[in-house]
Amino acid sequence: MTSKAATNPNPNPDTSDTGGAEDYRLDDDFIIGISSIIIFLIAFITGVSYFCFRTKRNRGSQVSHNTAEHEEAGLEEGTLNSCPVITYAEAKHQDARSADDSCCSVCLAAYGEDDELRMLPPCGHFFHVQCVDPWLRRQAKCPLCRSSINASVDSPC
């Protein structure tokens, strides 16, 4: 007696080996696809948020940096002219530190014996007059060490 049940060990067609595996695979692929989409969306939103906040933060620091520059004025002409001007030869004799400084830190040119140098009293640094004067008109700080220079006309530079 050869019956259908003998040739097909699983009489229920819904639970056959191939049909169940295909259904299982479809469910697996669906779950993996949805998970991939969710991970992509999370990464995308995180990236967009990062760049938006970073750009906003950079703009904020530039604004406050520019505001600080505008608030600090340079030296007035009278104060600037009160800073001592000496030649490099005189500077070497007055201060041993200036003998080590053989070039202007603004233009990087070597000092000549007759070059006129402006000394900034708070720190004692020397610079060519034509180099440091435009700098001091814009901001009242030493170009080398950033020491604040008193901008009051009453007290000499």
Distance CA 34, CA 36 (A): 5
pTM of the model: 0.49
Q: Is the pLDDT at 152 greater than 50, yes or no?
A: no
**14 or 133, which is more confident?**
133
Average pLDDT for 7-13: 54
SS3 22: helix
Place of tokens 């067609």: 13
Query: For the domain 77-138, what is the CATH code?
Result: 3.30.40.10
- Predicted pLDDT at 40: 97
103 — pLDDT class (breaks 50, 70, 90) = confident
Q: Is the pLDDT at 109 greater than 80, yes or no?
A: yes
- Predicted pLDDT at 97: 59
